[in-house]
Structure 1
Amino acid sequence: MDPRTAFSCCALLLITLLPLSANASSKLYIVYMGEKKHDDPSAVTASHHDILASVFGSKDESLKSIVYSYKHGFSGFAAMLTGTQAEMLAKFPEVISVKPNTYHEAQTTRSWDFLGLGLNKLPQQTDLLRKANYGEDIIIGVIDSGLS
């Protein structure tokens, strides 16, 4: 499946699963809380629900607003929030940052071809590869698209 089709499927799924309580002014925000305070992933998720419940005033509304809980490498979550709710969350001492979700379109999924180093190489490109030791010890880029 090509990246555009995968993204379209994920976007359709996300739209389908968005909470019904989200009003027109709600947007998806990413809330970063830094290092996990618990080793148990369910405890991390529970802490996300608790902090959201204090903003929404209701555990049910917090459960409806949360889209994803980051609970393994770090602590954070994605939730449908209004601008005012995002500002309230940003003031909590355990919250490091609250940012609106942004989509960045991939420039390429084939770095060698994008750089002109694919199968149809010109002689000067072959020489470039040799001079660059065929990319040994070089990282061109690591992108985490958030899709898994």
Structure 2
Amino acid sequence: MGSLPKTQYSPTSHHLSVMKQVFDENDSINSLIHSYKRSFNGFAAMLTNQQKEKLSQMECVVSVFPSRNLQLHTTRSWDFIGFPESVKRSRAIESDVVVGVIDTGIWPESDSFNHQGFGPIPKSWKGTYAGGKNFTCNKKIIGAIFYVDESVRDIDGHGTHTASIVAGNNVPSARFYGLAQGTARGGVPSARIAAYKVCGELGCTSHAIMAAFDNAIADGVSLLSVSL
């Protein structure tokens, strides 16, 4: 539904009023999946084809498209793209960078996310910690929100992997059962991480990914990692 108005405005109330034009009153509330109201304007809902067509013709609606179930992918090494470990660093600047990782969550106890030596959380950070069960943030992982399961804790490994690739600490003598020993490192080891868990065992729904974008932008992330 475009950008958020600058004037006083209740997105959820507007979204429900739009839905009531194609639903019975009770059905509109039950069919609303998510109201996007922080960084952009819109909502996710269960619709019939007839309701979708009617909504798409309304003047206040920019577009209507289906939520898809996406699958996970990964990335390659920093050395491969010419970004070696010896590259010149500015820790003071890099520690103010907050990477929002939209993925399967994160495993906070990994050495890649140890916060030893990290200073205070950047003043620009506006996000909150809502990691759920058995999850604790630190000065490295400064934000956590989950949209599936009961915690941001990563049980798949993909989100932990992608987070460590972009912003993991240097971990010397890393190896796989004695093979390929070396230093595991992220592109910007001094950067902070905010984890947004949108993926579960069945994949990653578009409407959850949209909700993570909505929150992450409002939280003040510097950039987003979305390896989906």
Higher strand share: 2
Among residues 82, 89, 93, which one is paired with 1:128 in the alignment?
A: 82
Alignment match, 2:21: 54
CA distance in 1, matches of 2:38, 2:28: 20
Using a 3 Å threshold, how does the CA distance of structure 1 residues 127 and 54 change in structure 2: closer, same or farther? Answer: closer
Residue 34 of structure 1 pairs with residue 22 of structure 2: no
Residue 44 of structure 1 aligns with an amino acid whose one-letter code is P
Using a 3 Å threshold, how does the CA distance of structure 1 residues 126 and 96 change in structure 2: closer, same or farther? Answer: closer
Alignment match, 2:34: 68
Using a 3 Å threshold, how does the CA distance of structure 1 residues 127 and 143 change in structure 2: closer, same or farther? Answer: closer
Superposition deviation, residue 101 in structure 1: 0.4
**TM-score (norm. length: structure 2):** 0.36
Alignment match, 1:5: none
Unaligned segments of structure 2, at least 5 residues = 89-99, 103-197, 199-208, 213-228
CA contact (8 A) 1:50 1:59 kept: no
Residue 73 of structure 1 aligns with an amino acid whose one-letter code is S
Using a 3 Å threshold, how does the CA distance of structure 1 residues 115 and 88 change in structure 2: closer, same or farther? Answer: same
CA distance in 1, matches of 2:41, 2:80: 45
Unaligned segments of structure 1, at least 5 residues = 1-32, 109-113, 118-124, 135-141
Superposition deviation, residue 47 in structure 1: 0.5
Among residues 39, 51, 76, which one is paired with 1:115 in the alignment?
A: 76
Give the secondary-structure state (helix, strand or coil) at the position aligned to 1:63. Answer: helix
Q: How many residues align?
A: 97
Superposition deviation, residue 84 in structure 1: 1.1
Alignment match, 2:72: 106
Superposition deviation, residue 107 in structure 1: 0.5
Superposition deviation, residue 59 in structure 1: 1.8
CA distance in 1, matches of 2:21, 2:47: 13
Superposition deviation, residue 103 in structure 1: 2.1
CA distance in 2, matches of 1:107, 1:81: 29
Higher helix share: 1
